[in-house]
Amino acid sequence: MTEPSNQASTADLTRYAIHYEPLFQTLQTMDVQRLIDTVDDPWYNQTLIQVGDVLVRLGVMQGEYHWHKHDEQDEFFYLLQGEFHIELEGRDAVVLKPSQAFSVPAGMLHRPVVPIRSAVIMIEKAGIVPTGD
């Protein structure tokens, strides 16, 4: 495990394709697999829809994210496909397989490490900054 730091370099942030605007509205069918199949970015994060004050986001990724935390918000991960590791400050890493989920509590320093191309659904409060506080 790498030494935790919640400071991301500018180079880290530029390699993330983060799309904040919801791609879908209520009463629309969302073909999530089709979207996954079109992604070319190594680290892609797309808001699918806002449901009340909650965002449902899709991540398609491979590689290492930077250490970060969300001071006021929990973060929920549900793995659709691939393998998804979540390194946690002061704890053993969590390894998710498809159809497994995990929630990181507000204020906990963490970083996803994704050894193979994977797709994950994230549920977070609206207004979250995916790169951390």
- Kindly give the confidence (pLDDT) of every residue in the chain, 133 residues in length, as a single tens digit, with 9 standing for 90 and above: 555 654 554 445 457 899 999 999 999 999 999 999 999 999 999 999 999 999 999 999 999 998 999 999 999 999 999 999 999 999 999 999 999 999 999 999 999 999 999 999 999 998 776 666 5
- CA separation for the pair 102, 14 (Å, rounded): 26
Cα end-to-end distance, the chain, whole Å: 21
d(CA 126, CA 114): 25
Dump pLDDT digits (tens) for 62-97: 999 989 999 999 999 999 999 999 999 999 999 999
Superfamily of domain 10-125: Jelly Rolls (2.60.120.10)
pLDDT of residue 15: 75
Q: Give, in order, the Cα–Cα distances in Å from 37 to each of 2, 97, 119, 123.
A: 31, 19, 10, 21
Predicted local confidence at residue 11, as pLDDT: 42
Which pLDDT value is given to residue 126?
Answer: 87
How would you write the chain as a 3-class SS string? CCCCCCCCCHHHHHCCEEECCCCCCCCCCCCHHHHHHHCCCCEEEEEEEEECCEEEEEEEEEEECCCECCCCCCEEEEEEEEEEEEEECCEEEEEECCCCEEEECCCCCEEEEEEEEEEEEEEEECCCCCCCC
Per-residue model confidence (pLDDT) at position 9: 45
pTM of the full structure: 0.86
